[in-house]
């Protein structure tokens, strides 16, 4: 479906202040057009054919629980086994066509995503509860990710290289070969960018994929399947299985899976790793597993930039980014002023129906997320002070979605769970500090190490932060986001400690090689015998 012949402007995480009048015009067409198609039953896809095995379940929109996104089939373990077998059969041909042809196909897929951009954006609004600009940035990131990984294959000649010769006449080289079939398991919050980032890296490297979306993201999975098929991906190279924990566990535990790419919680990621470690040989687990993502605001900061950046990273997408800023350390002389300024700027945020162009924050993804947020608010009231927010919005449409007022919390004792645990909700704790050394020790004391940001116009402070913070993604003095806003080929996205598993992140030039294994070849020339 295309809603207009007009080309929508590109939105990134760094140009959100642009005038997007045309984009909103296109949204006014795309949102009702997709809305009219919601509620249908969607099959799984194995070998390019629909599969309807498994129990049917219903997915509802966070915007309004009366909106049924669609009905989906929870793939059985038997269907998982069948999909993996089909993927193995298709993978051999996919590998054999060579990386150059794979790059061509992946680029056609990126073009198809761009062609259907407004439909995909509308899906992200309905399915995740993203604002219009947030959804547009995600879909733009999706096609950029695919193109970037294709370009990395081209730049590196599939990461091959000649080696030194040990003997005259021999051909010595190092090449990279795909593992086989990767399981890809994704969360709900970036149903296009995260999913296509993991899948396109696996595919361009020559692997086949068995993909399980979040149970809440089956609609986007259907659209992804259509885009990849339209781009010319051969049948069976990508297989899509909806479902819940049983389906995901069956993928992880299947002997035929050669590797896993996973984005989600640390607990689940480590469970996958332990399972793979107990097998007869090592298999790759590429996992990004959330974060706590502290920010640090010095008395020598650009005050307004710090307030803007912390607000955006704490409350954008309802705090449902793995890089969301949920703890902020502020130097004591400016602490009260910063708390008051952040409270004032947060009060300006529009909360409501994300289908409307003026809305900044929608509902959290479901009632379970709302209950998790409420428990955090209750804990903050018991041991700390809620400066503003912390209320559940009620009345009218608010009663059919988990809309919450983002809390700003102070005065919690050090070591409290709200300093330690990932909430995945709009929620920030602020704490004063006397020295940056003290603040970094506290910020580093958590199990996570995904992103961190600092605001200071003192170069020595920025250098100390960079040298001592334990995180893989760092930002300094960024008004558009204290801890968020990475883009393919611009910032790599690597989790340290409990946030990542391999020490190499997505969006950068070390990601694709992880989907391949090295093979050293030393071949002497063929000689005629006789």
Report pLDDT for 160.
86
pLDDT above 70 for 507:
yes
Report pLDDT for 171.
85
Of 445, 425, 441, 444, nearest in space to 433 by CA = 441
Take residue 139 and report the two structure tokens written for it.
């879909």
Report pLDDT for 4.
53
pLDDT digits (tens, 9 = 90+) for 264-307: 999 999 999 999 999 899 899 999 999 999 999 999 999 999 99
pLDDT digits (tens, 9 = 90+) for 391-406: 999 887 788 899 999 9
pLDDT above 50 for 469:
yes
SS (H, E, C) 364-411: ECCHHHHHHHHHHHHHHHHHCEEEECCCECCCHHHHHCECECCCEEEC
Residue 414, classed as helix, strand or coil, is coil
pLDDT above 70 for 2:
no
- Answer whether 0.85 is exceeded by the pTM: yes
> Beta strands 327-331 and 259-263: pairing type?
unpaired
Catalytic residue among 158, 322, 328, 494, which? 322
Higher-confidence residue of 527 and 106: namely 106
Of 494, 495, 522, 496, nearest in space to 510 by CA = 494
Report pLDDT for 396.
78
Report pLDDT for 317.
96
Report pLDDT for 182.
98
- Residue percentage of the chain with pLDDT more than 90: 90
pLDDT digits (tens, 9 = 90+) for 473-505: 999 999 999 999 999 999 999 999 999 999 999
Is there a contact between 418 and 411 (Cβ–Cβ < 8 Å)?
no
pLDDT category of residue 526 using cuts at 50, 70 and 90 = confident
The mean pLDDT value for 55-64 works out to: 97
227 classed as catalytic: no
Report pLDDT for 5.
67
pLDDT above 80 for 14:
no
Cα–Cα distance for residue pair 151/366, rounded to 1 Å: 38
Of 141, 228, 154, 150, nearest in space to 184 by CA = 228
pLDDT category of residue 1 using cuts at 50, 70 and 90 = very low
Is there a contact between 315 and 349 (Cβ–Cβ < 8 Å)?
yes
**Structural domains in the chain, sorted by start:** 21-289+504-519 (3.40.605.10), 294-487 (3.40.309.10)
Is there a contact between 365 and 216 (Cβ–Cβ < 8 Å)?
yes
Report pLDDT for 530.
66
The mean pLDDT value for 97-124 works out to: 98
pLDDT digits (tens, 9 = 90+) for 20-53: 899 999 999 999 999 999 999 999 999 999 999 9
- What mean pLDDT value characterizes the chain? 95
348 classed as catalytic: no
Cα–Cα distance for residue pair 83/174, rounded to 1 Å: 32
pLDDT above 80 for 125:
yes
- Residue percentage of the chain with pLDDT more than 70: 98
pLDDT above 70 for 17:
no
Choice among 13-17, 199-203, 218-222, 265-269 with the minimum mean pLDDT: 13-17
Catalytic residue among 112, 288, 331, 461, which? 288
């Amino acid at each position: 479906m295309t809603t207009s012949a007009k080309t929508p402007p590109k939105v990134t995480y760094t140009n959100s202040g642009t005038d997007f009048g045309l984009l909103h015009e296109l949204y006014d067409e795309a949102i009702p057009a997709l809305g009219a198609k919601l509620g249908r039953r969607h099959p799984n896809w194995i070998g390019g054919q629909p599969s309807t095995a498994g129990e049917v379940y219903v997915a509802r929109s966070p915007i309004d629980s009366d909106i049924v996104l669609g009905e989906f089939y929870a793939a059985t373990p038997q269907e998982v086994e069948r999909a993996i077998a089909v993927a193995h059969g298709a993978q051999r041909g996919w590998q054999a066509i060579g990386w150059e042809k794979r790059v061509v196909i992946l680029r056609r897929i990126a073009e198809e995503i761009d062609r259907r951009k407004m439909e995909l954006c509308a899906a992200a609004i309905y399915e995740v509860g993203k604002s219009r600009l947030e959804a547009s940035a995600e879909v733009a990131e999706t096609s950029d990710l695919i193109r970037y990984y294709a370009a990395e294959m081209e730049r590196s000649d599939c990461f091959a290289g000649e080696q030194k010769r040990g003997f005259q006449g021999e051909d010595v080289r190092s090449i990279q070969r795909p593992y086989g079939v990767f399981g890809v398991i994704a969360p709900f919050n970036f149903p296009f960018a995260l999913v296509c980032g993991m899948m396109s890296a696996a595919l361009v490297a020559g692997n086949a994929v068995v993909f399980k979306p979040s149970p809440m993201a089956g609609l986007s999975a259907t659209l992804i399947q259509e885009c990849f098929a339209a781009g010319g991906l051969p049948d069976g190279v990508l297989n899509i299985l909806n479902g819940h924990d049983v389906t995901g566990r069956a993928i992880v535990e299947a002997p035929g899976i050669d590797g896993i790419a996973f984005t989600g919680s640390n607990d689940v990621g480590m469970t996958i790793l332990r399972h793979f470690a107990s097998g007869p040989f090592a298999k790759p687990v590429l996992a990004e597993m959330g974060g706590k993502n502290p920010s640090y605001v010095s008395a020598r900061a650009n005050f307004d930039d710090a307030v803007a950046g912390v607000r955006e990273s704490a409350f954008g997408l309802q705090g449902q980014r793995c890089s969301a800023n949920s703890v902020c350390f502020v130097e004591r002389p400016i602490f009260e002023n910063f708390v008051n300024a952040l409270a004032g700027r947060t009060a300006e945020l529009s909360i409501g129906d994300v289908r409307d162009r003026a809305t900044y924050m929608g509902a959290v993804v479901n009632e379970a997320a709302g209950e998790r947020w409420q428990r955090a608010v209750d804990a903050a009231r018991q041991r700390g002070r809620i400066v503003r927010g912390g209320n559940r919005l009620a009345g009218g449409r608010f009663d059919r979605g988990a809309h919450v007022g983002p809390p700003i919390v102070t005065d919690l004792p050090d070591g409290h769970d709200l300093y330690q645990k990932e909430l995945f909700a709009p929620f920030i704790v602020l704490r004063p500090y006397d020295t940056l050394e003290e603040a970094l020790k506290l910020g580093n004391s958590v199990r996570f190490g995904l992103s961190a940001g600092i605001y200071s116009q003192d170069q020595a402070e920025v250098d100390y932060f960079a040298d001592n913070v334990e995180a893989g993604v760092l930002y300094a003095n960024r008004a558009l986001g204290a801890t968020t806003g990475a883009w393919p080929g611009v910032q790599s996205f690597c989790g340290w400690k409990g946030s990542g598993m391999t020490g190499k992140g997505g969006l950068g030039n070390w990601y694709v090689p992880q989907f391949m294994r090295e093979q050293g070849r030393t071949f002497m020339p063929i000689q005629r015998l006789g």
